[in-house]
Amino acid sequence: MGSCPVLVFVLLFSATLPFSGDGGKILVFPIDGSHWLNMKILVEALHSQGHQITVIRSSTSWYIPESSSYFTSITIPQTQSQNIESQSYMTSFLKRSLDIRRRRGSLWALLEFYSNVFDLLRENQKTVAELARSIFENKKLIKELNETGYDLCLTDPVFPAGVLLGHYLKLPMVFNVRWIYSGDPHVALAPSPLSYVPELFSDHSDRMDFLQRVNNIIYRGFLVYMYYFVTNPPYQAVCNDYFGPDVSPWSIIQGADIWLMRVDFTFEFPRPTMPNVVYIGGFQGKPAKPLQSDLEEFVQSSGEHGVIIMTLGTLLGDLGPEISEIIASAFAKLPQKVVWRHIGEKPATLGNNTRLVKWLPQNDLLGHPKTKLFITHGGTNGLYEAIYHGVPILGMPLIFDQFDNMVHMTSRGAGEMVEVTQMDVESLTSAMKNILDPENSYKQNMLKLSGLLHDKPIKPLDSAVFWIEYVMRHKGAAHLRTESYKLPWYAYHSLDVMAVLVACSLLITMFTLVSCRCLIGCLVKSKKSTLKPKKE
C-alpha cells in the first residue's frame, strides 16, 4: 500500500543526499525541566546519525547533565536559578494557583490568576535575558563558539536566550517548540482567526458559541498585554544593546528556518499553519518494555478488571492530605487495581487495591494490556503517551496549559476531566466508573486517535531529524519562510492600503457630490435666467 515506492525512494534518497561525511556540528540551547526531556530525545537521535552536539546549560541547571555520551556541554555560570526550574517555587506557585482556582468564576480570581502567572514569568524572563547577556559579554566563549563553525542552532524558544544566541552567531535556526513566551507559537507565524482557533489558557475547543468567542478575544488581549508588558521587555533590552532598536525578539523568532512543533492533530485542533512548520507531536512514543517482576505481578493480579495508573507529573507528587484522602477513598471503591505515584503522607483511607509508588515507569504501564485508565494532570508528554497506547484519560488539570490539554481530550470523547478543587469521593468514583464502563465509547475513541497517531508516512522523530539535516544541507530554509516578518504591522494587516483606498473613495465621493451640487446649482440658475426674460 504505497510502501514499496517509499522504500525504493528512501533507498535511492539516502544514497544521493547525505548531509556530509562526518555529520554536522549542532549547537543546542535547551530549556530545563520537562522541555529538556523532549530535547534530549532529539539530541540522542541526532547523535545516532553521527552529528556532533554541544549543549549550552546553566550552572544552576536542574535536569541537564554536565557530561553525557551524546553531547559535550558548555556551562554558563549563573547565581540565580529560574523559578520555573525550582521545585519548591513551583510547589508554592501551584498551591496559590489551586487556591485561586477554588474561587474561580469571579473576575477577581481571574485577575489574581494572571497576576500570579505574570509574576512567575516576569522573574524568569529577567533571569533568562540576563543569561543571554552574560554569554554575549563573555568574549572568549563567543570567540570559541564562532571558531567551532556550527552548522545550526537548535533551541526551544519558550525562553528565547537560545534564539538570541543563534541570531548573534548568525546560525540557521531550528526550533523544538510547544510554546513561546508570548503564547501559542503559531501566532508568531500563521494567521489565527479567533473564531475557531481557541486562545491559550481559554479552555475552549474549536467549536465556540458566541460568548466563548467573546471570551476568546478577551484572552488574546490578555496575552498581547502579557507579551508587551511582562515577557518581552528584558529581551528587547538585550536586542537594543546588541542588535539595535530595529531588531525585536519577535522578529528573530519569526525568522527561524524550521519550527519542529510538538503537536499532532489527533490532539491539537486543526488551524492555519505555515510551510516551515513540521509537526512532530507524539515523537516521544515508543513501545512498552516489560515491567519489573513485582509490579508485573501486582498488575496481573487485577484479573479481568485491569489497572488504573495515576500520576501528576514530575513536579507534583502530592495534592495535600484533604484531596489525597478523597482520591484514596474513591480508588478503594473500585474493583480495579491502582498504581498511584504519591510522594506525601500515606492516606488513611487507602484501599488494598492501591499501591503507592514514588516513581512509575509511565510508558511501560500505559503500554501494558491490563491498563484501563490513566489519571493525569494533563501534561502533553503523558497525554501523547496515552494516545500512543490507546488508554482513555481522567484529567486532573492543575496549572498552565493542562486545562486546555484536557479540553482537547474531552472534546474527542477520549477522556473526562474533574475539577480537583471541587471533587468529592462520589463524583470522582462516578467519573472513573463512567470511563471504565465498556458501554461508553472512551476506549474506542482513544483507540481511533491512537490509530491516527500511528498512521503517518514518516515517523515524527525521523521527520525531525530529516528537517534538521535539511536546514544544514541547504544552510537554511528561506524558501519555506514567508516575507511577512519583514513587514511593519500596519503593512502586514494592509492598514496603510485600506486607509489610502478609503481616503480615495471619500475624495471621489466628495468631488462627485460637490460637482453635482455645482452642476445642479448652475442648471437651476440658468433655468431661472431663461425663465425671467420670458416673463418680461
Nearest Cα residue to 331 out of 442, 433, 439: 433
Residue 405 — φ and ψ, nearest 5°? -55, -45
Sole binder of its own copies in the list 66, 72, 137, 214 (CB under 8 A): 214
Among 77, 106, 217, 531, which residue sits at the site for its own copies (rule: CB under 8 A)? 217
Nearer to its own copies, 9 or 359 (CB): 9
User: CA–CA separation, 243 vs 239, rounded Å?
Assistant: 5
Expressed in angstroms, the distance from the first to the final Cα of the chain is 101
Q: Which is nearer to its own copies, 4 or 67 (CB)?
A: 4
* 251 touches its own copies (CB under 8 A): no
Which position among 47, 126, 213, 333 is part of the footprint of its own copies (CB under 8 A)? Answer: 213
* Choice from 102, 104, 143, 493 touching its own copies (CB under 8 A): 493
Could you write out the DSSP letters of every residue in 37-89?
HHHHHHHHHHHHTT-EEEEEEETT-SSS-S--SS-EEEEEP-SSPPGGG-HHH
Residue 479 in the binding site for its own copies (CB under 8 A): yes
d(CA 521, CA 514): 10
Q: Is 497 in the site for its own copies (CB under 8 A)?
A: yes
**What is the nearest approach in angstroms of its own copies to the Cβ of residue 442?**
17
**Binding segment for its own copies among 12-20, 130-138, 374-382, 392-400 (CB under 8 A)?**
12-20
- One of 105, 270, 438, 533 touching its own copies (CB under 8 A): 270
User: Which CB atom, from 384 or from 470, has the smaller least distance to its own copies?
Assistant: 470
Could you count the other beta carbons within 10 Å of the beta carbon of residue 50?
Answer: 13
Closest approach, Cβ 152 to its own copies, in A, equals 14
Min dist. Cβ of residue 115 to its own copies (A): 23
Residues numbered 153-192 forming contacts with its own copies, rule: CB under 8 A: 190-191
Distance CA 357, CA 508 (A): 78
Q: In the block, which residue shows the cell 425663465?
A: 531
| Cβ neighbours of residue 480 closer than 8 Å, sequence gap 6 or more | 257, 258, 274, 275, 276
Does position 508 bind its own copies by CB under 8 A? Answer: no
Site for its own copies in 454-473 (CB under 8 A): 454-455, 457-459, 461-463, 465-467, 469-470, 473
Decide if 455 contacts 422 (C-beta within 8 A). Answer: no
Taking CB under 8 A as the criterion, the residue among 29, 93, 279, 340 binding its own copies is 279
Task: Give the C-alpha separation, 407 to 422, whole Å.
Answer: 18
265 vs 359 by CB, closer to its own copies = 265
Residues of this chain, 395-424, that bind its own copies according to CB under 8 A: 412
Residue 193 engages its own copies in binding (rule: CB under 8 A)? yes
Closest CB 261 distance from its own copies, rounded Å? 11
CB-based contact 487:302 (threshold 8 Å): no
* Interface with its own copies, residue 274, by CB under 8 A: yes
Residue selected from 92, 104, 143, 275 as contacting its own copies according to rule CB under 8 A: 275
- For the four alpha carbons of 432, 437, 438 and 439, in that order, the dihedral sign comes to negative
Name the residue with cell 516575507: 483
Q: Provide the strand spans (E) within 304-434.
A: 307-311, 337-341, 354-357, 371-376, 393-395, 415-417
Nearer to its own copies among residue 355 and residue 473 (C-beta): 473
Please report whether residue 83 would count as binding its own copies according to CB under 8 A. no
9 binds its own copies (CB under 8 A): yes
Residues 342-381 that bind its own copies (CB under 8 A): none
Q: Based on the shown chain and the rule CB under 8 A, indicate whether residue 506 belongs to the binding site for its own copies.
A: no
Rg (CA), the chain: 29
Selected range binding its own copies among 193-201, 242-250, 290-298, 526-534, rule: CB under 8 A: 193-201
- 75 vs 57: CA distance, rounded Å: 5
- Asked if residue 63 binds its own copies (CB under 8 A), the reply is no
* Site for its own copies contains 49 (CB under 8 A): yes
Other CB atoms within 10 A of residue 234 CB: 20
